[in-house]
Amino acid sequence: MNDRYLKACRREAVDRTPIWLMRQAGRYMSAYRAVRERYGFLQMVKTPEVAAEITLQPIEAFDLDAAIIFADILPPLEGIGLQLSFEKGEGPIIHNPIRSAADVAALHECDPRESVSYTLDAVRLVKRALADRIPLIGFSGAPFTLAAYAIEGGGSKEYRRSKQLMFAQPAAWHSLMAQLSTLVRDYLLAQIEAGVDAVQLFDSWAGALAPDDYAEYVLPYVQRIIAEVRASQPGVPIVYFGTDMAGLHPLLAQSGADVLGVDWRSRIDEAWAQFGPGVAVQGNLDPMALFAPWPELERRARTVLDRIGGRPGHIFNLGHGILTETPEDNVRRLVEFVHTYQPDQVIR
Ligand code: CP3
């Protein structure tokens, strides 16, 4: 197996810097859009053969060092009683959002092995198709980001209702986070049992929190999930990713993750210094850089690699998901560049 990605997660030396791109299977690819014409988004996620096919599209098109299973962070919420749909042009909507302590108490327990069996089936299909060429990454939303979606009912700028519940009804907040943490842990473990080689927790929205609130209302649950997954499945790398986290970096170092994601709003070497030497880092090109002319894109990719300076424990990625309309040719050239560039100067 090309295990550069897994080696970098463990901070072992690698022959080339591994690269994969968050949301690498998606609308910027013409192959994806062709399938998307025939299916709704949730239908694609829930049809294992289709999810497997889409997972493999970027692997066939580019020399990526890891695949990530095609799914979404929100469908697992259906298992605990939330009603989800994706509306055209609007993104995800939860039709019965959590608004009170009574709503929290009404959530059910569920076994992700049953409630999201379609994703586990897709994992098995992809593992068979990859035949150990490259690793497969599984993922889950982290409990804060899931809670915020469940409470707001959709996208949000200020997380008004989430913070209201957190600040005014902390017992209900903690109960919700505890239930979501159990779901996330069981979902990650089920994906590992189905064959994924590493797992990533997406906490895309946690950067909206003040550090003291993150430390009190979120971090303990992230720590618990990571500790419990590691205890059951030692050796499977655990990646924790968020955006707008610069003010939380010293706290992320306490998460227990093997790898921490860095978005483009920080310098990756400065973020790594705040995390300490015990973790690997993933990142952190601005996704918009892929729209720049090649020399400018190359300069920006080189800056990331120079800041790392060849130290083991770096996975090249974007600072957030790849954007719609990204030129596929720039993705191809970026992957090639990351695989061949040798940093000669180290920026410190
Ligand atoms: O990285 C990957 O390629 C794996 C697949 C993946 C998707 N979503 C597919 C997807 C992953 C890891 C996610 C994570 C996800 N989903 C997050 C956390 C990471 C992040 O990007 O912040 C969040 C917040 C969601 C929820 C979500 N799903 C939103 C807000 C949207 C709508 C926005 C949009 O881009 O349309 C989605 C839809 C979605 N998830 C698409 C894909 C490929 C686009 C669906 C389409 O074809 O219309």
Please give the average per-residue pLDDT across 236-244, as a whole number. Answer: 98
Written as six digits, the tokens of 336 are 């090639």
Predicted confidence (pLDDT) at residue 244 exceeds the cutoff of 70 = yes
Domains of the chain (ranges; CATH) run 4-340 (3.20.20.210)
Catalytic, 300? Answer no
Predicted confidence (pLDDT) at residue 347 exceeds the cutoff of 70 = no
Ligand 1 centroid vs 72 CA: distance in angstroms? 6
Written as six digits, the tokens of 62 are 């580019």
Residues flanking ligand 1, CB < 6 Å: 22-27, 36, 41, 68, 70-74, 91-92, 139, 202, 204, 321
Average pLDDT score, the chain = 97
> How do residues 191-209 score in pLDDT, each as one tens digit?
999 999 999 999 999 999 9
* Confidence (pLDDT) at 346: 54
Please give the average per-residue pLDDT across 212-216, as a whole number. Answer: 98
Catalytic, 72? Answer yes
Pocket test for ligand 1, best of 43, 56, 72 (most atoms within 8 A of CB): 72
The percent of residues in the chain predicted with pLDDT above 70, rounded, is 99
* Confidence (pLDDT) at 33: 97
Q: Do residues 239 and 198 lie in contact, with contact meaning Cβ atoms separated by under 8 Å?
A: yes
* Confidence (pLDDT) at 88: 83
* Confidence (pLDDT) at 212: 98
Burial of 234 (0-12, 13-18, 19+ CB in 10 A): exposed
Listed residue (313, 312, 314) closest to 301, CA to CA: 314
Ligand 1 centroid vs 138 CA: distance in angstroms? 14
Please give the average per-residue pLDDT across 113-138, as a whole number. Answer: 98
Of all protein residues, the one whose alpha carbon is nearest to atom 38 of ligand 1 is 91
> How do residues 49-108 score in pLDDT, each as one tens digit?
999 999 999 999 999 999 999 999 999 999 999 999 998 878 899 999 999 999 999 999
Please give the average per-residue pLDDT across 242-269, as a whole number. Answer: 97
E strand or H helix that includes residue 285:
strand 280-285
Instruction: Work out the number of other CB atoms within 10 angstroms of the CB of residue 161.
Output: 16
Ligand 1 centroid vs 184 CA: distance in angstroms? 17
How many angstroms separate the Cα of 319 from the Cα of each of 98, 195, 212, 248?
30, 26, 24, 16
Catalytic position from the list 5, 28, 32, 149? 149
Ligand 1 centroid vs 91 CA: distance in angstroms? 9
- Runs of H (alpha helix) within the chain: 4-9, 30-36, 41-46, 48-61, 101-105, 112-115, 117-130, 143-152, 160-168, 170-194, 211-217, 219-232, 249-252, 268-275, 294-308, 328-340
> How do residues 300-327 score in pLDDT, each as one tens digit?
999 999 999 999 999 999 999 999 999 9
Q: Considering the entire predicted model, what is its pTM? A: 0.97
Please give the average per-residue pLDDT across 155-172, as a whole number. Answer: 96
* Confidence (pLDDT) at 89: 79
Catalytic, 187? Answer no
Catalytic, 244? Answer no
* Confidence (pLDDT) at 343: 83
Catalytic, 32? Answer no
Written as six digits, the tokens of 289 are 């850089």
> How do residues 4-43 score in pLDDT, each as one tens digit?
999 999 999 999 999 999 999 999 999 999 999 999 999 9
Of all protein residues, the one whose alpha carbon is nearest to atom 10 of ligand 1 is 72
Catalytic position from the list 4, 11, 23, 185? 23
